[in-house]
Amino acid sequence: MLFWIIALALSGVVALALAAPLLRPGQEAGSNADLDFYRNQLAEIEADRARGLIGPDEAERARAEIGRRLIAADRAAREPRMQSRGPVWPVALFGGVVVIGGAIWLYADLGAPGRPDAPLSERLEMARELRADRPSQAEAEAVTPAMQAAAPEEYLAMVEQLREAVPERPDDLTGWQLLSRHEAALGNYAAAARAQERVIEIKGDDASFEDRLALVDRMVAATGGLVTPESEALLARLLDADPDAAGPLYYMGLLQAQIERPDLAFRYWKRVIERGDPASPHVELARAQIGRAAALAGVDYTPPSAPGPSAADIAAAQDMDPAARDEMIRGMVDGLAARLAESGGAAPDWARLIGALSVLGETDRAEAIWSEAQQVFAGTPDLEQIRDAARKAGVAE
């Protein structure tokens, strides 16, 4: 309430300052100040003539000119003051309404009217409290709704067999890896995280960076996107091993965004975008969220363009004969397919691959990629983007 009182008072002061010239009584053309000025000029001319600074003829001409102006000023001073200031009050009132109303409207549109005062020290303290009050991994998983992605009956039966068989062979590394991967494909991220933990236990010191990052991926997904203290501890160890790794940097930025530190989230995600492999899904996630973080942090930032064929590549392709052009396109498509098979990728890459295969007439491959995408992106909003590409390619309903 105090803020609004101060804001309205300041707006009123500005409005009065703007309206003051309109409300001031009309000033006469010839005022006492004007008469005094001309009289002083006459006295100065007499003084200059007496000192010999000007001649008698020049002094006479100056006296005549100033005398003419003095008579005009005296006549104007005797005339009635300006009449009827009627239209001035409505104009002043309208100006005040525009200034005060416009200021309120702009703040309501661009500001945060319902948000209390938050000095920097209080905001930092709030961020520390939010970080300290996060639920544990188990608590967060317990309140996150379970998801079961749609999948063919044969696939569900296969995963059920894994669930029954793998726990009976606790040291079967391949079995636990398969179980972790397929539970994640079905959206059972908590179960996938438990299976991935077992993978890392079996591997011990031989567990790779990718194995541990996959565990973080599943843990964060299992909590609906919340970075818990357990996830943060794993991320810290991953960043110790590779300070520029896109995955851990992305999740650390996500943590900062969740505790109301968009300034730090922006710094992490900027590093992800500018240093990470453009093919990494974590880079795509950072690209999708950095705009809001930058705006909240008060930073004007435009991410660098995503990599793609250059203008020179396109021009070269247009100049090729059809056979050579098809050969080049097939090489690009095969490269994209190999990259997705080895390290995965974002939904737009999968959609682009399906569309490219359709253009090349390789419908069977497009259908196979669509089937695999349904497993990889099951239960995620990204699946719809790939489904649209599959429909256009004629391999999905």
Q: Is the pTM of this model over 0.75?
A: no
Give the range among 53-57, 137-141, 306-310, 322-326 with minimum mean pLDDT. 306-310
Looking at residue 22, what is its pLDDT? 61
From the CB of residue 253, how many other CB atoms can be counted at a distance below 10 Å? 28
Q: Quick check: 304 and 240 in contact, CB under 8 A?
A: no
Looking at residue 173, what is its pLDDT? 94
Looking at residue 36, what is its pLDDT? 75
Fold adopted by 137-297:
1.25.40
To the nearest whole percent, how much of the chain has pLDDT over 70? 77
Nearest residue to 370 (alpha-carbon basis) of 349, 348, 351: 351
CA distance 351 to 382: 10
Does residue 319 carry a pLDDT above 60? Answer: no
Please provide the average confidence, as pLDDT, over all residues in the chain: 80
Looking at residue 24, what is its pLDDT? 59
Comparison of pLDDT for 314 and 147, the residue scoring more: 147
Does residue 288 carry a pLDDT above 70? Answer: yes
User: pLDDT band at 326, cuts 50/70/90?
Assistant: low
Comparison of pLDDT for 120 and 189, the residue scoring more: 189
User: pLDDT band at 140, cuts 50/70/90?
Assistant: very high
User: pLDDT band at 83, cuts 50/70/90?
Assistant: very low
Does residue 301 carry a pLDDT above 80? Answer: yes
Comparison of pLDDT for 285 and 382, the residue scoring more: 285
User: pLDDT band at 311, cuts 50/70/90?
Assistant: very low
What would the mean pLDDT of 323-334 be, rounded to a whole number?
Answer: 66
Looking at residue 275, what is its pLDDT? 86
Which residues fall within 8 angstroms of residue 142, CB to CB, at 6 or more apart? none
What would the mean pLDDT of 135-142 be, rounded to a whole number?
Answer: 94
From the CB of residue 98, how many other CB atoms can be counted at a distance below 10 Å? 12
Comparison of pLDDT for 344 and 287, the residue scoring more: 287
Map out the domains of the chain as residue ranges: 2-110, 137-297, 311-393
Give the range among 62-71, 108-117, 187-196 with minimum mean pLDDT. 108-117
| pLDDT, tens digit (0-9, with 9 covering 90-100), for 197-255 | 999 999 999 999 999 999 999 999 999 899 999 999 999 999 999 999 999 999 999 99
Looking at residue 84, what is its pLDDT? 45
Does residue 310 carry a pLDDT above 80? Answer: no
What would the mean pLDDT of 380-387 be, rounded to a whole number?
Answer: 80
Q: How far is CA 172 from the centre of its chain?
A: 45
What would the mean pLDDT of 179-191 be, rounded to a whole number?
Answer: 90
Give the range among 246-250, 268-272, 348-352 with minimum mean pLDDT. 348-352
From the CB of residue 141, how many other CB atoms can be counted at a distance below 10 Å? 20
Does residue 109 carry a pLDDT above 50? Answer: yes
User: pLDDT band at 192, cuts 50/70/90?
Assistant: very high
Looking at residue 30, what is its pLDDT? 45
Q: What is the 3-state secondary structure (H, E, C) of the chain?
A: CHHHHHHHHHHHHHHHHHHHHHHCCCCCCCCHHHHHHHHHHHHHHHHHHHCCCCCHHHHHHHHHHHHHHHHHHHHHHHCCCCCCCCCHHHHHHHHHHHHHHHHHHHHHHHCCCCCCCCCHHHHHHHHHHHHHCCCCHHHHHHHCCCCCCCCCHHHHHHHHHHHHHHHHCCCCHHHHHHHHHHHHHCCCHHHHHHHHHHHHHHHHHHCCHHHHHHHHHHHHHHCCCCCCHHHHHHHHHHHHHCCCCHHHHHHHHHHHHHCCCHHHHHHHHHHHHHHCCCCCHHHHHHHHHHHHHHHHHCCCCCCCCCCCCCHHHHHHHHHCCHHHHHHHHHHHHHHHHHHHHHHCCCHHHHHHHHHHHHHCCCHHHHHHHHHHHHHHCCCCCHHHHHHHHHHHHCCCC
Tokens of 63: 């006296």
| pLDDT, tens digit (0-9, with 9 covering 90-100), for 21-70 | 665 555 444 456 667 777 787 788 887 777 777 777 777 887 788 778 77
What would the mean pLDDT of 306-326 be, rounded to a whole number?
Answer: 55
Looking at residue 82, what is its pLDDT? 45
